[in-house]
Amino acid sequence: MSTLRIVWLYPDLLSTYGDRGNLLVLAHRARTRGIDVEPMQVRSDQRIPHTADMYLIGGGEDGPQAVAAERLLDDGALNRAAEAGKPILAICAGYQLLGESFYANGRAYAGLNILDLRSDRGPSRAVGEIAGDAAPQLGIGPITGFENHGGRTHLGEAVQPLARVTAGVGNDGATEGAWAGHVIGTYMHGPALSRNPRIADLLLAWAVGTDPAHLPPIDDTWPERLRAERFQAVTAAQ
């Protein structure tokens, strides 16, 4: 691969709690390994390129989330990317709209049906640190992030939870996020990849067609210090 093209979708609608940092983390970790990167920001009034290698979508409020879902459904490129096996990382509102349906503005909206899940409103807002034990098949270790959402997400049989919750709420107090194929959805802000560099490397490995273990190692001293500090804070609060 000569250039890795990473698309950040709809930053004008879905970009809260530092979600742009996921794009920066991926670009940095790729370039550190000698992989040329072309980060692309595609606004909601633009067509989504079909030739990208990875797609990112962030979180946002109810109104922008509903608009984003309508425009993504009309465009169709993200569904085709998922069908082609392109890596997709979706955060919070972006995660919800990848499912069958989500709740916003007091009613249900159709989602993209990329992941077998649906989201509705929970009894209370989930705000604060979230941590969990990730699916062992992914090889990403424990996860850490920050959540702020009023929804609850119910997983179907065709997806697996990204992690089992050890602190926070996530989907429903028991599981957090979901994954299927090369698509990962999560409620973790933070941004998610600054706290979980192994997820970043998993996405990069999928994009370049290799195993994460085959990526050249890089210095993760500071990300690991951040992770240790966040896990310690969660433990102290329990």
Instruction: Establish whether 92 is a catalytic residue.
Output: yes
- Which residues, other chains included, contact 44 with Cβ-Cβ below 8 Å and sequence gap of 6+? 10, 12, 13, 67, 68, 71
Overall average pLDDT of the 24-44 stretch: 97
Look up the domain containing 67 and give its range. Answer: 3-237
Report the domain count for the chain.
1
Overall average pLDDT of the 12-39 stretch: 95
Instruction: Establish whether 154 is a catalytic residue.
Output: no
Tens of pLDDT, residue by residue over 54-88, are 999 999 999 999 999 999 999 999 999 999 999 99
Residue among 92, 154, 182, 214 flagged as catalytic: 92
Cα–Cα–Cα angle for 141, 5, 95, rounded to 5 degrees: 50
Residue among 28, 50, 154, 189 flagged as catalytic: 189
**Helix, strand or coil, per DSSP, at residue 154:** strand
Q: How confident is the model at residue 155 (pLDDT cuts 50, 70, 90)?
A: very high
The predicted model scores a pTM of 0.97
- What CATH number does residue 175 fall under? 3.40.50.880
pLDDT mean across residues, the chain: 96
